[in-house]
Amino acid sequence: MSIIDLDNNLGFMEHVESECEFYFNLNISPVSHQSKSAAAKERKRELQASIRDVLKSINFYIVGDITFHLQWNLHEHKRIETDGAADIDNILKPIIDGFTGFDALLIDDNQIDDVQAQWAHYYDYHNDKFTVTITYEPGQLIPKDSLFLLQLEQNIYMPIKIHSDKESREAELEKVLSAYEIRKEAIESDGYDRATRRKNRMQRFFHVSRIDDDFQKGDQNEYLEQAL
């Protein structure tokens, strides 16, 4: 377990690796996705920049499926007795976007299998904040400097770890390709209802349109030639 106090009074974060859980307690006020004014857009940029500042202390990506639980802490009077508080569903996307991308924690927001949002009374009337709890599956962390997005088909890429020696990279590649072929054969024979990725217990993959351009990606030969 590691607890990190964040710079600039942003709050703190905790990672309990044995339970596959991150907890972020952030002194940041959410902003509504529906707000379209120039000031609101700037607030969204500031919110996401603050979240990414928090994530700088994390040196790996989560590459598998996650649950995402948001709790918005704000004063009850503001929440239910005024018209100034945003709808809780509208504050989710800007926050999720802050956790997603090359300089963040997730590759893409479609890794979120289960999302929950709630609010709770907070004593400070003038300063609301939020917490985020992310849980992930075992074995789904890859160091940021070791992540490679392997091209499986024209537009399909899978996260894979760059090992320091070529023999290990060859073994990793064989394992990934074998699992993907088994899945394709199962789909051809049984259809998607019986042969989803989950039923085959294989690593999740991504459409190229969902991958930030800054991520390192390429084909099998390019993966094998990688060196740390």
Band (pLDDT 50/70/90 cuts) for residue 50 is confident
Under a CB-based contact definition with an 8 Å cutoff, are residues 112 and 169 in contact? no
Q: Residue 14, Cα to own-chain centre: how many angstroms?
A: 16
Angle at 49 between CA 147 and CA 108, to 5 degrees: 40
Given this structure, which CATH class describes domain 2-139?
Answer: alpha beta
CATH 3.30.1330.70 segments of the chain:
2-139
Give SS3 for 192: coil
Structure token pair of residue 37? 């004014």
* Predicted pLDDT of residue 33: 74
- Stated pTM of the model: 0.89
Q: What is the DSSP string of 99-145?
A: TBSTTSSBS-GGGEEEEEEEEEE-S-SS--EEEEEEEE-TT-EEEGG
Ramachandran angles phi, psi of 77, nearest 5°:
-60, -45
Average pLDDT over residues 84-109: 88
Cα 173 to Cα 161: distance, rounded to the nearest angstrom:
9
The tens digit of pLDDT for each residue in 5-32 reads 887 788 899 999 999 999 999 988 887 7
